[in-house]
Amino acid sequence: MRNCEKMDYQFKDIEKKWQQFWAANQTFKAENQSAKPKYYVLDMFPYPSGAGLHVGHPLGYIASDIFSRYKRLRGFNVLHPMGYDSFGLPAEQYAIQTGQHPAITTEANIATYRRQLDQLGFSFDWSREVRTSSPDYYKWTQWIFMQLFNSWYNKTDEKAESIEKLVAHFATNGSAGITAVADDEILTFTAAEWNAMSEEAQQTELLKYRLTYLRESTVNWCPALGTVLANDEVKDGVSERGGYPVEQKKMMQWSMRITAYAERLLQGLDNIDWPDPLKEMQRNWIGKSVGASVKFSIEGNTQQNIEVFTTRVDTIFGVTFVVLAPEHELVASLTTPDQKEAVEAYIAQTKKKSELDRMADTKSVSGAFTGSYVLHPLNGERIQLWIADYVLAGYGTGAVMAVPSGDQRDYLFAKHFNLPIIPILDTQNTEKEADATKEGKYINSDFIDGLEYKEATAAIVAKLEEIGAGKAKVNFRMRDAIFGRQRYWGEPVPVYFKNGLPYLINESELPLILPEIDKYLPTESGEPPLGRAEDWKYQNQYEYELSTMPGWAGSSWYWYRYMDAQNATNFASKEAVEYWKDVDLYIGGSEHATGHLLYSRFWNKFLKDIGLAVEEEPFKKLINQGMIQGRSSFTYRLNPLLLGIDDNFVKPEVYVSKGIYELYKEGDFDTIEQIALFYKDLLPEGAEVGEMDFSKLHVDVNIVSNDALDIAAFRTWRPDNNKAIFILEDGSVIYPADNAQNESKYICDVEIEKMSKSKFNVVNPDDLIERYGSDTLRMYEMFLGPLEQSKPWNTNGIEGVFKFLRKFWRLFHNEQWEFTVNDDAPTKAELKSLHKIIRKVEEDIERFSFNTSVSSFMIAVNELTDLKCNKRAVLQELVIILSPYAPHICEELWTLLGNEAGTLSYAAYPVFNPSYLVEDEFAYPISVNGKTRLNINMALTMEPKEVEALVLANPDVQKYLDGKTPKKVIVVKGRIVNIVI
RNA sequence: GCUCGGGUGGUGGAACUGGUAGACACGCAGGACUUAAAAUCCUGUUCGCCUUAAAGCGAGUGCGGGUUCGAUUCCCGCCCCGAGUACCA
């Protein structure tokens, strides 16, 4: 009789059992002190969306989990936490539509995420879970905001310092001796003047220095979402979320003085192990350019001048006109009466254009002459002052000195408006286009004639500084980050207003709890939703700030909260921060390149400046997992024009397989004929088939396997189509009454698209876990390809991994499914297989090549199966190596092997012994003129000379030599022999 | 336009610093077991030519060239796909 307890690999029972065990025993709880070295593995925490996880989301989590489990086995104290970035727009949009509080939606979504994450067997330390929307978390987000408000950036020391220190300086020395990153229009005053200022005046002045400050600025306003958006939340002129139009608007806004850290953010990139494309994106975003600012005085106006920024100050003698952005503040005052009409018309035209898509039109040249002239700072020549929309108000000073000989846009402009073009280098060719060369010697350039680029630049900067007309300057593209959102579902800003000025609430009053409101929409007067909160006043009299923090606030420091998640008195204890320091490995998507990852680095540097963080950079190593795209399946439905049919007739549904459709497409006459005849037979007497056509229809990928449609499942999926007829790949036909068992198949067409519900290409991990188990899913996701590569999801092939795990299970069992492992000494071949995999997996994990280690596991199990190996000495080691990948099955086997339950996660990792891999012989590939012809077994101890002699004496080799003497014989020991004839 | 990735069988992919291209899987074909199906196992599977077969020959990592005894790997030129970014002075 068969014993029911002894059965094939029962993944469902095993996985449930161990997930419960890990949770009950807190197996993965990390301690904040240890004799072991620390290792911090972080995943980008998810926004818990209503749709739950699809199969692409866990890719990075699986990789980080494998790495965490591996590091634990290698003797590290591993911190591997998880949480939720739970403030955000979708929950609020849902609240607007349904009236349900976003907290409730969020709670429900988190429950779904948690269930799905638990099913995958991740080794997270859930005791450290964080949620950015929970008051005991956002208390500290607000607290960090307060620290930023209370700090300014000292350029002399290159770090943030306390605002009190600045106030003390002002009180004793006035503004002298302070170099800060601050607003442009800061005052100059003496100590006495400062001390005489009113409270309001002092606060107004200090606001210009604070690292988070309130200022009127041009913002990206999204009317549909009713909020401002950061630059990185706007893509191609529309909002990243939802794709709504975005316009420019002036508003009083909280901003973060991230520009203070521009240089440090740039420098820091050199010292972190991040993917090059990502670093490059951050460099571009920061956009440092080194050059000079130059002042052009205005003819007949000694009060004002035009300041321009240039990266090629050496070309200054090539300047033939100066251009202002149409929005430049001096345009109106500098336009002469003659030109007024033309200039105003041009400004009107650009305004209209920018509302449409100005980006598309970069080729046409347009502009208008203001009628004014500026004077060249070095030779005093009169230069025309123009406006044109190719000059951007938001970059540099909104004005450029035009050098048509060296800049293509200036060149086109000069050609179009007939302005002079002066070459300034002897090697320059400006016949057809601008030539931006730095080679050669200067001409037409006054005192730099005959010099070369480097010396010329230095000479000009020196001269400009001497006469007070300019100076060397570094310009950054990066702007300060807008920090307010006119939304409900975010952290309240811990600020109230007195006499129109912002003040922080008391630290002891944190957290400032998000108040309840009746509707999640702006007020009638256009204030943010928080304006609806009743009796919500500071000390019952002062208005609170009504905007909330942006989505990136909570995620800019969360990795510190994980270090000490329960701490009620600090954002994290000093001991915890000093112990964990920084994140050793961070895994997540590259879509956060210029948002989260830049803001996090900024906050981290600030926290370091004020002594709360230890490291300058928060994330030592970062890996971007590739995006998982959808792989849609399609059916082709015949859609012919019918003649002689009355209106009530319902067309028969006929689907043709991909191959048949392709024959039809290629114009295969027989196929077309046969389909038409076939269809005609389905029609009533007298009807005719006219023009044939096909509709390409999405079909649920979950009822398609290896591109073959499960017809029975299709009839259930689409009950309205349950009478459909299918023409299969070989031309045979399945009618509704048929029991869909057939030699041939209905093959679907395939396309790669974004994964989305409407395309029926979403694959849910729950279904795959139900069918194959999470160990299989984990390994399959890794087996799919290199972690960093984007790839379409394709469930074809998951069977192979499932088979592998069953084969692995079988290694430990006899034919009757009884656990059978013996203590015999392993053979040489068994040890070789084992140590091959020990080395391979170690190498693969260290370089994050998880797909190749899955292959290697398959090879090892295939080899050991062939060797009929069931020896503990080999198998127990193999269980440890495989456990990071397939933890459940390995835990089960580990206990079956007689070990204490739960000890596998901290077992001793097998040590690679190279002596087991030493070979005596090697089958040398023998190639003739680079083409491999045969293999000859030779001892590896043989010296190249002996190998050569032996090879040349070989009769098979002689055949190839054909009596000739080889010109040359290359012998690479242990590798190859190449004979050149 | 610029900056990064990337082009290898029917498919996903492997090949670490130049050394037997196609590991490992999927799929497909054939076979065993079975009343049958599922499951399982075995064999074959880059393409082309030739052969009854064994074997043999030729081509082959987007295209064209180069360096080298030897190139998927290095260099030059070009084509295609993907991502990011863009009047940035």
Per-residue pLDDT tens for A270-284? Answer: 888 898 888 888 988
A826-837 mean pLDDT: 91
Q: What is the pLDDT of residue A844?
A: 93
Q: Give the pLDDT band (50/70/90) at residue A718.
A: confident
* Alpha carbon distances (Å) from A112 to A53, A54, A589, A769: 8, 12, 22, 15
The spacing between the Cα labelled CA in A849 and the C1' in B7, in angstroms, equals 21
Residue A270 CB neighbour total at 10 angstroms: 7
Instruction: Report the protein residue whose CA lies nearest the C1' of nucleotide B1.
Output: A362
What are the pLDDT digits (tens) for A53-94?
888 889 999 999 999 999 999 999 999 999 999 998 888 888
The spacing between the Cα labelled CA in A614 and the C1' in B24, in angstroms, equals 44
A339-343, A524-528, A976-980: the lowest-pLDDT one? A524-528
More confident residue, A668 or A30: A30
Cβ atoms of A450 and A441 within 8 Å: the answer is yes
Q: Give the pLDDT band (50/70/90) at residue A618.
A: very high
Instruction: Report the protein residue whose CA lies nearest the C1' of nucleotide B28.
Output: A706
Beta bridge partners of A153: A160, A181
Question: Is A241 a residue whose pLDDT tops 50?
Answer: yes
The spacing between the Cα labelled CA in A748 and the C1' in B67, in angstroms, equals 48
More confident residue, A841 or A979: A841
Q: What is the pLDDT of residue A511?
A: 94
pLDDT winner (highest mean) among A7-11, A345-349, A418-422, A924-928:
A418-422
Radius of gyration for the alpha carbons in chain A, expressed in angstroms and rounded: 36
Find the nucleotide nearest A406 (Cα to C1′).
Answer: B89
A749-773 mean pLDDT: 85
The H or E element that residue A192 is part of is helix A191-196
Question: Is A741 a residue whose pLDDT tops 70?
Answer: no
Find the nucleotide nearest A309 (Cα to C1′).
Answer: B89
Q: A686: buried, middle or exposed (CB in 10 Å: 19+, 13-18, 0-12)? A: exposed
Q: Give the pLDDT band (50/70/90) at residue A743.
A: low
Q: A947: buried, middle or exposed (CB in 10 Å: 19+, 13-18, 0-12)? A: buried
When the pLDDT of each residue in chain A is averaged and rounded to a whole number, the result is 88
Cβ atoms of A627 and A56 within 8 Å: the answer is yes
**Strand B positions with any atom < 7 Å from protein CB?**
3-5, 11-16, 19-21, 23-28, 40-41, 57, 69-71, 82-89
Amino acid at residue number A338: D
Q: Strand A628-638 vs strand A791-792: parallel, antiparallel, or unpaired?
A: parallel
Q: What is the pLDDT of residue A353?
A: 61
Find the nucleotide nearest A388 (Cα to C1′).
Answer: B87
Find the nucleotide nearest A857 (Cα to C1′).
Answer: B24
A595-607 mean pLDDT: 94
The spacing between the Cα labelled CA in A741 and the C1' in B38, in angstroms, equals 13
Question: Is A36 a residue whose pLDDT tops 60?
Answer: yes
| Structure-block tokens of residue A85 | 């970035």
Q: Quick one: how far is CA A540 from the chain centroid?
A: 44
Cα end-to-end span (Å), chain A: 70
For chain A, what percent of residues have pLDDT higher than 70? 96
The spacing between the Cα labelled CA in A784 and the C1' in B21, in angstroms, equals 21
Question: Is A248 a residue whose pLDDT tops 80?
Answer: no
Q: What is the pLDDT of residue A363?
A: 64
- Tell me the CB-side half-sphere exposure of residue A713, using CA atoms within 13 A: 11
Question: Is A355 a residue whose pLDDT tops 60?
Answer: no
* ipTM confidence: 0.93
The spacing between the Cα labelled CA in A288 and the C1' in B80, in angstroms, equals 33
The values of phi and psi at residue A471, to 5°, are -160, 160
A65-74, A299-308, A353-362, A393-402: the lowest-pLDDT one? A353-362
Cβ atoms of A518 and A55 within 8 Å: the answer is no
Residues 6 or more apart whose CB falls under 8 angstroms from that of A547 comprise A253, A254, A484, A485, A486, A487, A493, A528, A530
The spacing between the Cα labelled CA in A72 and the C1' in B3, in angstroms, equals 39
Domains of chain A: 38-144+567-628 (3.40.50.620), 152-263+483-544 (no CATH), 288-476 (3.90.740.10), 630-759 (no CATH), 797-908 (1.10.730.10), 919-980 (3.10.20.590)
A164-173, A527-536, A878-887: the lowest-pLDDT one? A527-536
Find the nucleotide nearest A797 (Cα to C1′).
Answer: B26
| Structure-block tokens of residue A90 | 């979708």
Find the nucleotide nearest A627 (Cα to C1′).
Answer: B83
Question: Is A582 a residue whose pLDDT tops 60?
Answer: yes
Calpha distance A925→A932 (Å, rounded): 6
Find the nucleotide nearest A401 (Cα to C1′).
Answer: B89
Find the nucleotide nearest A929 (Cα to C1′).
Answer: B69
Residue A600 CB neighbour total at 10 angstroms: 22
The spacing between the Cα labelled CA in A6 and the C1' in B35, in angstroms, equals 29
Q: What is the pLDDT of residue A284?
A: 87
The spacing between the Cα labelled CA in A830 and the C1' in B27, in angstroms, equals 32
The spacing between the Cα labelled CA in A415 and the C1' in B82, in angstroms, equals 38
Instruction: Report the protein residue whose CA lies nearest the C1' of nucleotide B27.
Output: A706
Calpha distance A114→A23 (Å, rounded): 13
Find the nucleotide nearest A291 (Cα to C1′).
Answer: B89
The values of phi and psi at residue A57, to 5°, are -60, -45
What are the pLDDT digits (tens) for A954-973?
877 887 777 777 888 888 88
Beta bridge partners of A293: A309, A471
Secondary structure (3-state) at A559: helix
A697-700 long-range contacts, CB within 8 A, separation 24+: A697/A634, A697/A635, A697/A636, A697/A637, A698/A632, A698/A633, A698/A634, A698/A758, A698/A759, A698/A760, A698/A761, A699/A633, A699/A634, A699/A635, A699/A748, A699/A760, A700/A633, A700/A760
A519-529 mean pLDDT: 83
The spacing between the Cα labelled CA in A283 and the C1' in B85, in angstroms, equals 11
A896-920 mean pLDDT: 91
Cβ atoms of A74 and A889 within 8 Å: the answer is no
Q: What is the pLDDT of residue A236?
A: 65
Question: Is A742 a residue whose pLDDT tops 60?
Answer: no
